Structure 1
Amino acid sequence: MPQSNPLPHKIAPVADELGELFAARGHELALVGGSVRDILLGRAGNDLDLTTDARPERVLELVKDWADSVWTIGIDFGTVGVRKGGWLLEITTYRSESYDPKSRKPEVVYGETLEADLARRDFAVNAMAVRLPAHEFVDPYGGVSDLSARLLRTPATPEQSFGDDPLRMLRAARFAAQLGFTVAPETVAAMTEMAERIEIVSAERIRDELDKLICGAQPRAGLTLLVETGLAARVLPELPKLRLEIDEHHRHKDVYEHTLTVLDQAMAQEEDGKADRVLRWSALMHDVGKPKTRRHEAAGRVSFHHHEVVGAQLTRKRMTELRFPKDIVADVSQLVELHLRFHGYGTGEWTDSAVRRYVRDAGHLLDRLHKLTRADCTTRNKRKAAALSRTYDQLEERIARLAEQEELAKIRPELDGNDIQRILGVGPGPVIGRAYKFLLDLRLDKGVIGAEAAEAALLEWARGQK
């Protein structure tokens, strides 16, 4: 039902201008959903969501001379994208959508009224609208009250809402992480009861929600909700598996709680308040190899030998199945595999060669590896934590000194492939790769020795080859 407008003077002029254009042509237009919610929360950006009774083809006709550019990537779902100046607008035709029990894609059916469109929205805080250009506020499901209470409820029954689109269950966890909202008890109950329905949703849509959750302000809240409702067991099963049973003597950590703490501590090291996707996923996945490598040793001890290697494999498999870009998969997996390397440093016993190898293996991920390694210290023993921190400070200082001496981040053999072919008198082939590796190891072990000495070493190495 119409409400008094709580958004005076907060509607972007570009939205009013577009509303007047649609009204002049006999069509309705309203600012809707997340845009209204974010304006009320004081966090609006330059992206606006709008809804209309006009069909997508008609929307294209209406905006073609008004917009700076138009895109139609979402037109099959009733959405037309528009850029006007610095504003990005998505205009979606009134609709309702639902899943066939065996389908991964929603079936889109266009609606006729704004009120019916709002009824299909995921949560009441996203089921508010402002008609344009009149600025008539529409809030049929108490979204303003829920926003004030920081509560997530569904407009319809949660069972009906999640039946229409099971992805909304993940979206509830995502909003808990992004906005710090509490999910209503009946909504949590429905998420728990209907968790298996998430399996009909495509991997790409699940990935997008999980990624937004991880990059939210409070990912711990969203992840906890996923684990408690059983959704995590279906979309990110490695996480609940970390809830290892603590032995009777309480001699090893709850790996699940440890992981959430590492994630919190990794976030605390992010710069400029920007979420570091690779760092956060690495923190979340760094110990997922522990359940498979857990062994009970003598005297009640528990070991997890090589869990970093197993964890890297599991991370690569999960993130690939979720259709993450290959570079993200590679970076996160590499950080998981490297996260224990520092503990071989002891109290500083590494040679300069070992430090060079540490830097070389980390490559462009060195800064993130520093942060992940520091975040992985969750001991409550202040003396032990301080000692670990000092030791890592010392390692970073050694890296910095070596970098000043020899541009450590750009380590290359002193002879390249062309030099190797010339000196050995051979053409391209496997021997060049073996020779290059020998020279790289020499560079790491000895530092800069000069091209003449490197050539002599190469020839000596070649004499020992078959």
Structure 2
Amino acid sequence: KITAFPTLSSLLKEFPKAEIFLVGGAIRDILLNKKITDIDLLVRNVSGDDLEEFLARSGRVIFAGRKFGVWKFNEIGKPRNEIYDIALPRTEFSLHKQGIYQDFEIKTNPRLAIEDDLKRRDFTINAMAYNLATEELIDPHQGQLDLKTRLIKCVGKPEQRFEEDYSRILRALRFSIQLGFDIEEITLQTLKQEIVNINNKFDGKRVVPFEVISEEFLKSLETNAPDTVRLWDSSGALIEYIPELLKMKGCAQPENWHAEGDVWEHALLGLEKLSSKEFKKEFEETPNLELIISILFHDIGKPYTIKTPKKDNADRIRFDEHENIGAKITKQALERVKISAPPELGVDPDCIAWLVGRHMLLVHGKPNELNPKTIEKYFFSERHPSENLFKLIFIDGLSSIRENGSPLIELFYELKNRIADIKKQTKSHGKKLAKPLITGHDVMETLSLKPSERIGHILDEVRQKQLSGELKSKQEALEYLKV
């Protein structure tokens, strides 16, 4: 109601002919009983100059986009981070009609009918307006019906909407994932036809920047990772975005270790296992995007390294060095699509590549045979995402299914027990190991040595004995140096 916005109540008193509407996603979320994250308001019958002057008197105008008829406003008495977008009615025209991201000529018109403003919007569920004074819902494109039937449907002709801005294709995919809605048949058919255009260029620049594509992908991925990958695949978006991933399809694996299927199916099963009771029992934290993407990419090197008995005269299907090759492919692909760029969502390609390159650690060296320093290096590192490596190894084992249906998870539990033993031996607590017993200064002072590489070797030796439980105090460590 208008009473929720005291400043806007005053606006109606000062400009009696004004009309104030709540528009956009807020209405959709209210009707879906979801939490509102953004408030977009539209004001009719007040000029831009009058509206800006009024807002400046009534609170903080954080950003004035006068050219676009939009103001970001913080009302007096509201928390400073509670900001509304307040706009004038407007029409938009695609300048080059090439689907270029945000390539619009915008014309504001305070007297433009609300129905005409809603015509320019992307999907019917986002093309409703609520008059705060009269408490009337304006819904010329049957957005309420599409909410009830759980459909993503373009306003007007899908081809026209997408060709105005091809990033709308990716928004349709994201809304489908975030809301759990289907995409309306004609909208979906058009989407699949137009998806190839997200890689178009105009005047030497991408019509849809990779930063925008990656943001839409990551927003979907953190909502529902397996469904996102399937939808981006079936829609044709994935082959336009990261075609390297699709090489995993049809890449066979040894059935005695991977009864779940090919490399693609193994990766999808891994993503599904993130929401399993087994994962939730083992880890309290919600999986982050770094872990999700590392699971998707962890075996991307297999199609590039596969050797088979029939083709290569190998003793069995092999993927020698696939983790190292995969790490390189992962880094190149993620850097190309600028995966680190989206604000608050971006992930570091180097961290993902590090995880991919080390996910076979337990296969190459059994947990009970790894020295304690190696375990510390990989699973207690402050420089690398060691916690996610621990989780990735768990997920990889959980989604590697033997012919009898059981997961290949034993090595993970051996590692878990080994880590617990090291923590017990060193009286470590939480997610960090106890600090080293001595410093380089202690070594030089005790042994009357000058700085050299030897100091580091001595510290490593002492640390190894500390982690093994052979040295338990600084005094014991200093005595050991003298032997």
Interval containing the TM-score (normalised by the shorter chain):
0.7 to 0.9
Confirm whether residue 405 of structure 1 aligns to residue 425 of structure 2. Answer: yes
Q: Is the 8 A contact 2:300 2:326 kept in 1?
A: yes
Aligned residue for 1:317? 332
Q: More displaced, 22-31 or 413-422? A: 413-422
Aligned residue for 2:94? 98
Per-residue CA deviations over 1:397-450 (Å, capped at 9, x if unaligned) read 3212312332383466555455577667656xxx56x74366336523663746
How many residue pairs end up in the alignment?
442
Task: Report the structure, 1 or 2, having the larger helix content.
Answer: 1
Change (3 A) 1:286 1:38: same
Aligned residue for 1:201? 208
Q: How far is the alpha carbon of 1:182 from its aligned partner? A: 0.5
Q: Specify the code of the residue in structure 2 equivalent to 1:287.
A: D
- In 2: Cα distance, 1:110 partner to 1:277 partner: 39
Aligned residue for 1:5? none
The 3-state SS of whatever aligns with 2:41 is strand
Per-residue CA deviations over 1:313-339 (Å, capped at 9, x if unaligned) read 333333333251586334333322232
- In 2: Cα distance, 1:236 partner to 1:415 partner: 48
Q: Is the 8 A contact 1:353 1:445 kept in 2?
A: no
Aligned residue for 2:244? 238
Per-residue CA deviations over 1:99-151 (Å, capped at 9, x if unaligned) read 63385542340343322222121211111111222221011111111111111
Change (3 A) 1:418 1:22: farther
Q: Specify the code of the residue in structure 1 equivalent to 2:329.
A: L
Q: More displaced, 145-154 or 434-443? A: 434-443
Q: How far is the alpha carbon of 1:173 from its aligned partner? A: 1.1
Q: How far is the alpha carbon of 1:196 from its aligned partner? A: 2.5
- In 2: Cα distance, 1:261 partner to 1:327 partner: 22
The 3-state SS of whatever aligns with 1:356 is helix
- In 2: Cα distance, 1:203 partner to 1:399 partner: 41
The 3-state SS of whatever aligns with 1:20 is helix
Q: Is the 8 A contact 2:69 2:108 kept in 1?
A: no
Change (3 A) 1:243 1:327: closer
TM-score, normalized by length of structure 1?
Answer: 0.80
Aligned residue for 2:27? 36
- In 1: Cα distance, 2:48 partner to 2:355 partner: 45
Confirm whether residue 303 of structure 1 aligns to residue 303 of structure 2. Answer: no
Q: More displaced, 29-38 or 197-206? A: 197-206
Of residues 387, 399, 402, the one that matches 1:378 is 399
- In 2: Cα distance, 1:256 partner to 1:175 partner: 25
- In 2: Cα distance, 1:445 partner to 1:393 partner: 23
Change (3 A) 1:51 1:311: farther
Q: Specify the code of the residue in structure 2 equivalent to 1:208.
A: E
The 3-state SS of whatever aligns with 1:81 is strand
Of residues 289, 292, 295, the one that matches 1:277 is 289
Per-residue CA deviations over 1:183-240 (Å, capped at 9, x if unaligned) read 1222222122112321211222222211111111x33333222212222122222332
Change (3 A) 1:360 1:219: closer
Q: More displaced, 356-365 or 124-133? A: 356-365
Q: Is the 8 A contact 1:308 1:340 kept in 2?
A: yes
Confirm whether residue 64 of structure 1 aligns to residue 69 of structure 2. Answer: no
CA root-mean-square deviation: 3.7
TM-score, normalized by length of structure 2?
Answer: 0.78
Confirm whether residue 440 of structure 1 aligns to residue 460 of structure 2. Answer: yes
Q: More displaced, 206-215 or 335-344? A: 335-344
Q: How far is the alpha carbon of 1:164 from its aligned partner? A: 0.8
Q: Is the 8 A contact 1:19 1:133 kept in 2?
A: no
Q: Is the 8 A contact 1:439 1:454 kept in 2?
A: no
Aligned residue for 1:256? 264
Q: How far is the alpha carbon of 1:249 from its aligned partner? A: 9.2
Map 1:419-458 → 2, pairs under 5 A: 426=450, 431=452, 435-436=455-456, 439-440=459-460, 443-444=463-464, 447=467, 449=471
Q: Specify the code of the residue in structure 2 equivalent to 1:51.
A: L
Confirm whether residue 162 of structure 1 aligns to residue 162 of structure 2. Answer: yes
Change (3 A) 1:239 1:52: farther
Per-residue CA deviations over 1:251-285 (Å, capped at 9, x if unaligned) read 96322222122112124446779562222222222
Q: Specify the code of the residue in structure 2 equivalent to 1:91.
A: I
Q: Specify the code of the residue in structure 1 equivalent to 2:94.
A: S
Confirm whether residue 288 of structure 1 aligns to residue 300 of structure 2. Answer: yes
The unaligned stretches of length 5 or more in structure 2 are 200-206
